[in-house]
């Protein structure tokens, strides 16, 4: 009989299933900082959008409609000719309200970004200290300037 030493090879590792690999990849994707930041930004943006919509619908358009002759923007529409039931309309009043929403959101974002940029503005860098070589070259240049000055002829007034 042959004396065969028991195998010291490690047991076989199983390849993770496709679902496990997908779950691990998804987890790694979600846990990245920029994805979480993006999700928070989307949620804040949605809430901010509701505030702006309410501001436009409840604060801005009623006085604007009153100033324009008791016009309700939500009721502004053109009815297209035809016998469709219900009639086909182009609701340009709703479009105007959404346009005002957009302009206000863009204005608010511009103001916030301007403020953040102003707060994060870096002071201008200090001028770099001259190196020893630069100092020596500056001294040499200045001495050469004094040596190469034209001399005035004797008896002439200095300029």
Q: Does residue 159 fall inside a structural domain?
A: no
Specify the pTM: 0.48
Q: Does residue 135 fall inside a structural domain?
A: no
Read off the pLDDT of residues 125-153 as tens digits, 9 standing for 90 and up: 888 888 999 999 999 999 999 888 776 66
CATH number (domain holding residue 36): 1.10.1200.120
Q: Does residue 6 fall inside a structural domain?
A: no
pLDDT at 158 over 80: no
Please give the tally of structural domains in the chain: 1
The whole-number pLDDT of residue 152 equals: 64
Cα-based distances in Å from 64 to 60, 61, 72, 76, 116:
6, 5, 9, 13, 32
- Average pLDDT estimate for 99-125: 84
Structural domain including 70 reads 18-121
């Amino acid at each position: 009989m042959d004396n065969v030493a028991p195998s010291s090879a490690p047991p076989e590792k199983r390849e993770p299933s496709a679902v496990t690999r997908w779950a691990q990849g998804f987890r790694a994707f979600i846990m990245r900082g920029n994805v979480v930041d993006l999700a928070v930004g989307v949620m804040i943006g949605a809430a901010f959008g509701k505030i702006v919509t309410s501001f436009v619908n409840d604060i801005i358009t009623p006085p604007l409609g009153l100033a324009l002759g008791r016009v309700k923007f939500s009721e502004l529409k053109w009815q297209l000719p035809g016998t469709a039931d219900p009639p086909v309309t182009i609701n340009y009043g709703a479009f105007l309200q959404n346009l005002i929403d957009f302009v206000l959101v863009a204005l608010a974002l511009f103001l916030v970004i301007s403020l953040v940029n102003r707060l994060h503005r870096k002071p201008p860098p200090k001028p770099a200290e001259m190196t020893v070589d630069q100092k020596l070259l500056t001294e040499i240049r200045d001495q050469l300037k004094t040596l190469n000055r034209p001399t005035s002829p004797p008896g002439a007034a200095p300029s």
